[in-house]
Amino acid sequence: MTVKLMLKVQKVRLDDVFAALAHPIRRAIIEQLAEGDCTVGELAAPHDVSLPAISQHLRALEEVGLLEQTQAGRVRRCALKAGPLSAAFSWIVQYRIFWEDMLDDIAVKVERRGTHMATTKAKISGTTGTVRLTRVFKAPRERVFNAFLDPDAMAKWMPPNGYTAHVYKFEPKVGGLYRMSFSSLDKKDTHFFGGKYLEIKPYERLHYTDKFESDDPLMQGEIKVTVTFRDVPGGTEVKIVQEGLPKTIPVESAMQGWNQSLENLARLVEG
């Protein structure tokens, strides 16, 4: 497949995803499914429309891969599929980065003229971010939890697209340390990071620190990650909160990376 054709296919898919999300009822359905699997009746309840109309909205989302429907007797259940959302995030982030670069250039020019705009911009860019994600896996809670504490499993699912992982140290116990790296396939881009486990409640909760090994002051600082697990109809709900994200990493980029990792995790635990 040529590069031109690949770009054309990606554009068509993104067009379909954005078209599916253009309707407010469909966006509301996606938000509801982000909290866990739902029946068609549960998805229809908040909206003053007929069940056939809700079914049409569900088909539109299903056609672009945003949800999956399963039948159990007379009951249809729906589950969110995050892959297409990750592709949409990738497209949006490109333009956020473009505008941030433009604003940085403007700030530099204004600073030379003796205004306070650059100071204000520095304060904004100096804040850290928080990532919050929820995902339901069609797998037992024990299997999903173990994938977060097995170094071989983590090396498979944690690296985002285009990267591989290497685990140098791993002590899955309270107070235990870990150290890993992500490397691009061409080995030109490698990030080392590690931290300490603060809490391990089997099959329910993980709490640990994370820190990049970097000389860049904007990449330094302690990140705290909390992962909770609970049983829901059809599988396991995982909630992730990542606090204290380094100043130079946009929250949208971090969410994109997490979504890619969680897609890898789904393939691993749901197989």
Query: Model confidence over 36-92: pLDDT tens digits?
Result: 889 998 998 989 888 889 989 999 998 888 889 898 888 889 998 877 776 666 555
- Give the pLDDT band of residue 104 (cuts 50, 70, 90): low
Question: Rounded CA gap, 51 and 16, in Å?
Answer: 23
* pLDDT tens column, 35-45: 888 999 899 89
Give me the mean pLDDT over the 219-237 stretch: 92
Does pTM surpass 0.75? no
pLDDT in tens, 132-151: 999 999 999 999 999 999 99
Most confidently predicted of 60-69, 111-120, 181-190, 192-201: 192-201
Enter the DSSP assignment of 239: E
Report whether 207 contacts 51 (CB < 8 A).
no
pLDDT at 235: 92
What is the distance between the alpha carbons of residues 64 and 248, in angstroms, rounded to a whole number? 33
Query: What residues does 76 pair with on adjacent strands?
Result: 71
Instruction: Measure the CA–CA gap between 217 and 46, rounded to whole angstroms.
Output: 47
Q: What are phi and psi of 239, to 5 degrees?
A: -115, 130
Tell me, what's the pLDDT at 146?
A: 97
CA angle 85, 90, 95 (to 5 degrees): 125
Q: Higher-confidence residue: 111 or 201?
A: 201
| DSSP H stretches of helix in the chain | 3-21, 24-33, 40-44, 51-63, 83-112, 117-125, 141-147, 151-157, 251-269
| Cβ atoms of 201 and 182 closer than 8 Å | no
In the chain, the amino acid numbered 28 is: A
**Identity at 183, one-letter amino acid code:** S
